[in-house]
Amino acid sequence: MRNVDAMIFPRWIAPVQPAGVVYREHALVIDRGKIVDCCPATTARQTYSASATYERPDHLLIPGLVNAHTHAAMSLMRGMADDLELMEWLQAHVWPAEKQWVSRDFVRDGTTLAVAEMLTGGTTCCNDMYFFPDVAAQTSADLGMRFVTGIIVLDGPSPWAADLEEYLVKGLEMRDSFRGTPLVHTIFAPHSPYTVGDEALLRVRKLADELDAPVHIHLHESAEEIEQSVARFGKRPIARLDDLGLINPQLLAVHLTQVTEEEIECLARGGARVVHCPESNMKLASGFCPVVDLVDHGITVALGTDGAASNNDLCMLGEMRTASLLGKVVSGRADALSAHETLQMATLAGARALGLDEQIGSLEPGKWADTVAIDLAALNTQPVYDPVSQLVYAASRDCVGDVWVAGRHLVVDGRLVDVDTEDLRELSARWQKRLQPFARRPENNGE
């Protein structure tokens, strides 16, 4: 018999690849952090001897969820300025708070809170865009979660850098520093067309071409963004990026709530990828991403939560349900965005959008053992006719039993192994006191 590190025996396995398949009475075999087999349970017991064996008779095993767009450190701003439209939310509350308080400590503490939340919700990889990306990446790696960190670019100064040259120099140094860290990946992250000018975008495109790295950007997030672009540049943002050569397979366009048929065709021709953030878009009244139309044009669509400041959580299970239901309403088709399709968006499509689909996103031999066991024994998930449908339409983050990243067991019975949650609560309370002056005040607080 072959000796391996671990075997997991769930009731069901949804590997995502092959698409739409659910295995029953199978086992996932893990060695040195990677999947070595996904086979019938009887075959696994006869073939392998494991140092650790996990029996999960009521659980569905899925690939780790990939949150393809977030701002992890902004967890410290959760609920600070709710029920406002995007630009008022940014200009009157978020940006002033960031100007005063964003620091290495802010990013470390906010990312710690975010990673703890994401792991207990079944997310094993996220794509982050925020200041001090080196701190965020190291924090996540120390906690054991896979992290894609953005080389952020803005036209103006920020707590991270003073100008374009410093953004790029520090970002590339960060990229080199994490080259030997398997859990950390870097991509370019120009914030948006309204905060990054043509010169900076051209520099990003050139570097991304040279390094074969994705470019992660907010795009067509709101009607106001489109109006400002037309007034300033005489064209809509997608047309502007196309003229700059950025509508290509490296582009990772986030939000896309305001797109025409011609723009969808432009994105499809260029091979661009999209990240859908339904709950944040809805909460900020930004609009609806036409996901079904994008998929019908052959565009890869991943799923993200956005930051907790505008969502207000980082729960990918909730995001899947919202995405599937919203997709049906927007398209007028009850069969649109099935449970299996939505699970694929939240796993393999996210990995593909980030250029990581050879490493994660499905439960296939050779990939990293990033996997989640979902407990479907609770009354709210009974009876189980299709475990993937129950996952998307009935389960919640409370159903997350176990989480492994690269074979490391980080969540056991819904609890974090290496994080003191009481310390995290106290840390959050300290930051709340500092940020309170920037919070939106209710018109009538009862006093």
* 432 located within any domain: no
pLDDT in tens, 45-64: 999 999 999 999 999 999 99
Q: What per-residue confidence (pLDDT) applies to 129?
A: 98
**Domain stop point among 319, 353, 387:** 353
pLDDT tier, 429 (very low <50, low <70, confident <90, very high otherwise): very high
CATH number, domain at 55? 2.30.40.10
Q: Does residue 87 have a pLDDT over 90?
A: no
Residues 229 and 318 in one domain: yes
Reported pTM: 0.96
Residues 278 and 378 in one domain: no
Mean predicted confidence (pLDDT) in 236-253? 98
Residues 57 and 115 in one domain: no
Three-state SS string over 106-136 comes to HHHHHHHHHHHHHHHCCEEEEEECCCCHHHH
Q: What per-residue confidence (pLDDT) applies to 446?
A: 44
Q: Does residue 443 have a pLDDT over 80?
A: no
Query: Which has the closest alpha carbon to 323: 305, 309, 307?
Result: 305
* 156 located within any domain: yes
Residues 17 and 78 in one domain: no
Residues 320 and 222 in one domain: yes
pLDDT tier, 444 (very low <50, low <70, confident <90, very high otherwise): very low
Mean predicted confidence (pLDDT) in 398-402? 98
Q: What per-residue confidence (pLDDT) applies to 447?
A: 42
pLDDT tier, 418 (very low <50, low <70, confident <90, very high otherwise): confident
pLDDT in tens, 319-340: 999 999 999 999 999 999 999 9
Query: Whole-angstrom Cα distance, residue 390 to residue 95?
Result: 40
Q: Crossing angle of helices 133-143/104-120, nearest 10°? A: 40
pLDDT tier, 72 (very low <50, low <70, confident <90, very high otherwise): very high
Please give the residue range of the domain that contains residue 8: 2-63+367-406
* 424 located within any domain: no
Residues 221 and 154 in one domain: yes
Please state, as a whole number, how many other Cβ atoms lie within 10 Å of the Cβ of residue 358.
11
Q: Does residue 225 have a pLDDT over 80?
A: yes
CATH number, domain at 95? 3.20.20.140
**How many domains does the chain divide into?**
2
Residues 322 and 373 in one domain: no
Structure tokens at 222: 């709101």
Q: What per-residue confidence (pLDDT) applies to 89?
A: 87
Residues 274 and 384 in one domain: no
Residues 342 and 398 in one domain: no
Residues 7 and 74 in one domain: no
**Domain stop point among 353, 387, 414:** 353
Residues 210 and 331 in one domain: yes
* 419 located within any domain: no
* 173 located within any domain: yes
pLDDT tier, 442 (very low <50, low <70, confident <90, very high otherwise): low
Residues 119 and 33 in one domain: no
Mean predicted confidence (pLDDT) in 432-437? 95
pLDDT in tens, 17-44: 999 999 999 999 999 999 999 999 999 9
Q: What per-residue confidence (pLDDT) applies to 13?
A: 98
pLDDT in tens, 275-321: 999 999 999 999 999 999 999 999 999 999 999 999 999 999 999 99
Mean predicted confidence (pLDDT) in 172-200? 97
